[in-house]
Amino acid sequence: DILLCEGQSEELVGRCAMWNDELPGCCFQNTLIRVRCSPSALWPRFAFHCLTHTSHTGELSRLAHRCTNIAHIGATRLAALSIPLPPLLEQQHVAGKLDAGNTVAERTLSAATRQLAALDALPGALLHVVFGGFEGPEEAVERWAARQ
């Protein structure tokens, strides 16, 4: 299943996530639309990537009805959304490539976040090297980062 944010601010409406029954018996509130694909016609991961793309491009936001400052998609408007339907094997292939690309992107972001944290810790670590008597900058960065 795909869970899609039905009502939210204009820039957040349409965000989606995969739901694999991680919590059996879980209920969803009515601000989410549950999209259930027929895996023999539309591969769920492919549909997820299509919906994510339409969310990022603003297409889902353009479909939304606006009331005050809240945008609503609704199941009827969502059902009118056109999703490409290549053969099932191609859907699976494309989804697999996109999943792999997302994994690489997440790992890269995680590594960059760790490097930025170490860089943020560097000035304090260098002061500890100068005034604290540590053996070297690597040890100082590790100690300083552990204190943060």
**What was the pLDDT predicted at 143?**
72
% residues pLDDT > 70 (the chain):
87
d(CA 104, CA 34): 28
d(CA 84, CA 128): 58
63-110 confidence digits (pLDDT tens): 776 767 777 677 777 777 888 899 999 999 999 999 999 889 889 999
13-26 confidence digits (pLDDT tens): 778 889 888 888 88
pTM: 0.67
Indicate the average pLDDT of the chain.
81
**What was the pLDDT predicted at 147?**
73
Q: Which range, of 34-43, 50-59, 120-129, averages the lowest pLDDT? A: 120-129
